[in-house]
């Protein structure tokens, strides 16, 4: 951004010199095209010829124009050459292209921090077909990245807006420090109240702070990894099955959460009447009646399905699509 600002200032200064020179020669009696030609040849030190003989005032004006204009032109060309050699101009043009691409996205996931946690999150989201926007301030990390990205500091609200946070589905805060994750969570919640925010916590003490800041879920990767290792040690088949269903993209069946919309065909019916296993072929594992309510595992056939309830079901892609259709508003 500093390089782009310097380029803009340099081009503006050169344009100002050319306009001032053209106006000056016009006052000295030159035609407009003659005045512009005389200014450009003087500033660029080409000096083919003088369009008209210069008076004493014209000579003085030309001397001043040379002293100011030549230095301005050399500075402008130097800034442009530096930007081209160091790649800043290419980065700026690539950033502009990315910004246009991101502005067209909806329901994407913003990943803040392109470290090991951010990469692992993106790899899983890629298998589900979600669009991803990565935000990181280190250009070396983003070199060769295959996702849309924004180069910048996520603690700046303008960077979050550029990443499309106002029309995103979720944000994953996977920065290196808990303090940065708290800050990003606060800013993101203020910019997009309905956004789903999942934050990384290095310390257990930071979990409550992140929740108060507005995170929907807080994950400690070390704690989560330790628990999974313990599960593999004691119940390897259960752990392997869940791992396959959640992460193996070669399998045709998955566990998915599906929300019942108001006016959906399932709304107001009980499980016996809905007959999900018969009508859709899925296995219903649990129901969450509301956002803050506990799960009902292996619910009874008389359980009533209300709008807003979350179904946890396992099935193939086509079976899950059938449940989504029954759960959608008419």
Q: How far is Cα 41 from Cα 73, in angstroms, rounded to an integer?
A: 11
What's the pLDDT at 1?
A: 55
Residue 86 has pLDDT above 70, yes or no: no
What's the pLDDT at 92?
A: 61
Residue 106, both tokens: 């909806």
Helix (H) or strand (E) holding 171: strand 170-173
Task: Provide, rounded to the nearest whole percent, the portion of the chain with pLDDT above 90.
Answer: 33
Residue 261, both tokens: 């919309």
Q: What is the mean pLDDT of residues 78-82?
A: 77
Q: What is the mean pLDDT of residues 220-244?
A: 86
What's the pLDDT at 83?
A: 67
Same domain, 116 and 204: yes
Helix (H) or strand (E) holding 17: helix 2-27
Q: Are 69 and 41 in contact (CB under 8 A)?
A: no
Domain assignment present for 91: no
- Give the CA distances from residue 61 to residues 15, 33, 176, 282, in Å, rounded to whole numbers and listed in that order: 17, 18, 59, 86
Same domain, 204 and 274: no
What's the pLDDT at 189?
A: 94
Question: 244 pLDDT band (50/70/90 cuts)?
Answer: confident
Q: What is the mean pLDDT of residues 188-195?
A: 93
Average pLDDT, the chain: 86
Domain assignment present for 233: no
Residue 62, both tokens: 């030309």
What's the pLDDT at 65?
A: 87
What is the dihedral angle through the alpha carbons of 98, 167, 253, 112, rounded to the nearest 10 degrees?
A: 60
Q: Tell me, what CATH number does 57's domain have? A: 1.10.287.70
Same domain, 270 and 304: yes
Please tell me which residue, 213 or 225, carries the higher pLDDT value. 213
Q: Are 69 and 42 in contact (CB under 8 A)?
A: yes
Residue linked to tokens 């008076």:
55
Find the length of the chain. 330
pTM over 0.75: no
Residue 329 has pLDDT above 60, yes or no: yes
Q: Tell me, what CATH number does 214's domain have? A: 3.40.50.720
Angle at 309 between CA 306 and CA 314, to 5 degrees: 120
Q: How far is Cα 274 from Cα 305, in angstroms, rounded to an integer?
A: 9
Domain assignment present for 159: yes
Same domain, 50 and 120: no
Q: Which domain holds residue 32?
A: 2-86
Q: How far is Cα 272 from Cα 47, in angstroms, rounded to an integer?
A: 93
Residue 255 has pLDDT above 60, yes or no: yes
Q: How many domains does the chain have?
A: 3
Classify strands 310-316 and 296-297 as parallel, antiparallel or unpaired: unpaired
Classify strands 196-200 and 217-219 as parallel, antiparallel or unpaired: parallel
Q: Are 195 and 189 in contact (CB under 8 A)?
A: yes
**Neighbouring residues of 307: CB distance < 8 A, sequence distance ≥ 6:** 260, 261, 262, 263, 264, 267, 268
Same domain, 196 and 258: no
The per-residue pLDDT for range 4-61, each reduced to its tens digit, is: 788 888 889 899 999 999 999 899 889 899 889 888 888 887 766 777 888 888 888 8
Domain assignment present for 247: no
Same domain, 122 and 212: yes
Among 76-85, 132-141, 177-186, 201-210, where is mean pLDDT lowest? 76-85
What's the pLDDT at 91?
A: 62
Beta bridge partners of 111: 134, 172
Task: Provide, rounded to the nearest whole percent, the portion of the chain with pLDDT above 70.
Answer: 93
Question: Side-chain half-sphere of 78: how many Cα atoms within 13 Å?
Answer: 6
Q: Tell me, what CATH number does 287's domain have? A: 3.30.70.1450
Q: How far is Cα 223 from Cα 225, in angstroms, rounded to an integer?
A: 5
Same domain, 113 and 76: no
The per-residue pLDDT for range 88-130, each reduced to its tens digit, is: 556 666 667 778 888 888 899 999 999 999 999 998 888 778 8
Domain assignment present for 97: no
Nearest C-alpha neighbor of 313 from the set 330, 295, 293: 295
Domain assignment present for 168: yes
């Amino acid at each position: 951004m500093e390089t782009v600002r310097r380029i803009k200032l340099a081009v503006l200064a050169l344009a100002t010199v050319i306009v001032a020179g053209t106006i000056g020669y016009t006052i000295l009696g030159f035609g407009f095209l003659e005045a512009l030609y005389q200014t450009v040849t003087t500033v660029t030190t080409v000096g083919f010829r003088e369009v008209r003989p210069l008076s004493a005032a014209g000579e003085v004006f030309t001397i001043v124009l040379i002293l100011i204009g030549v230095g301005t032109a050399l500075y402008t060309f130097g800034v442009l050459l530096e930007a081209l050699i160091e790649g800043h101009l290419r980065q700026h043009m690539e950033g502009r292209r990315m910004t246009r691409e991101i502005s067209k996205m909806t329901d994407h996931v913003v990943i803040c921090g392109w470290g090991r946690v951010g990469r692992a999150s993106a790899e899983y989201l890629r298998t589900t077909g979600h669009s991803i926007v990565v935000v990181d301030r280190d250009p070396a990390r983003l070199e060769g990245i295959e996702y849309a990205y924004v180069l910048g500091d996520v603690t700046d609200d303008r960077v979050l807006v550029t990443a499309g946070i106002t029309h995103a589905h979720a944000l994953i805060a996977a920065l290196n420090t808990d303090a940065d994750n708290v800050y990003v969570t606060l800013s993101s919640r203020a910019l997009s109240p309905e956004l789903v925010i999942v934050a990384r916590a290095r310390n257990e003490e930071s979990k409550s702070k992140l929740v108060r800041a507005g995170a929907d879920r807080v994950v400690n990767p070390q704690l989560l990894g330790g628990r999974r290792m313990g599960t593999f040690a004691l119940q390897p088949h259960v752990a392997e099955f869940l791992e396959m269903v959640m992460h193996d993209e070669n399998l045709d069946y998955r566990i998915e959460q599906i929300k019942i919309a108001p006016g959906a065909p399932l709304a107001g019916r009980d499980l016996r009447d809905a007959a999900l296993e018969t009508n859709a072929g899925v296995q219903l594992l649990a129901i969450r009646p509301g956002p803050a309510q506990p799960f009902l595992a292996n619910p009874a056939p008389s359980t009533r399905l209300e709008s807003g309830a979350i179904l946890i079901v396992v099935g193939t892609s086509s079976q899950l699509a059938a449940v989504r259709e029954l759960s959608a508003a008419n």
